[in-house]
Amino acid sequence: MRKIVFDIETQNTFQEVGSSDVTSLDISVVCVHDSETNSYSSYTIDEIDKLWSIIEKADMLIGYNSDHFDIPLLNKYYQGDLTHIQSLDILAKIKEVAGKRVRLDQIAEATIGENKSGHGLQAVTWWKQGKIDKIVKYCLDDVRITKDIYDFAMKEGYLKYSIAGDEQIIKLDTSQWEKPNESEKSTMTQSLF
């Protein structure tokens, strides 16, 4: 199964665009990890057409809040419909079990002992300052952390987070996470890049 772990950074915020609609935002950078090549890559908005050939070969897209945020926003730029690719949103799986949203940084710190290297609002500021290299590094770090959390959950069957020093364990049934959904893949509209 070819898995693409990905993350997106934006050029602007919901407040700046005056809307809570994800598709009203503009992408600055997309970063991915491709399980087939075991490699990381980044694409600025000007290079986004190079991303489609990788995404279209995916059996599954993996992200954190990706079904609600990343996939709809990326779909705004894609000629087909990315919702036809099987996806796994780690945050959605956590919410199903824990009954609430937990920040990626909280999960990363408690589960794999790492912290995010920044936050999305910093990435917007860096975009405005032309500091694309900083956005790429931050976005790649988030992809690596998301991949490590996914791999940990697949191996151990749980993730952790901490509230005021009290560690919480989220038990996850990962047995179906990588089960192929052939009907979705076969109906995907491809861009032919």
| Structural domains present in the chain | 3-174 (3.30.420.10)
Q: Which two tokens stand for residue 119?
A: 């936050």
Higher per-residue pLDDT: 180 or 172: 172
Residue type, 63: G
Distance separating alpha carbons of residues 26 and 169, to the nearest angstrom: 35
Distance separating alpha carbons of residues 44 and 52, to the nearest angstrom: 13
Higher per-residue pLDDT: 119 or 3: 3
What pLDDT, on a 0 to 100 scale, did the predictor assign at position 185?
Answer: 47
Residues β-bridged to residue 169: 160
pTM for the full predicted model:
0.91
What pLDDT, on a 0 to 100 scale, did the predictor assign at position 166?
Answer: 86
Name the band, by pLDDT with cuts 50, 70 and 90, for residue 182. Answer: low
- Cβ(92)–Cβ(100) below 8 Å: no
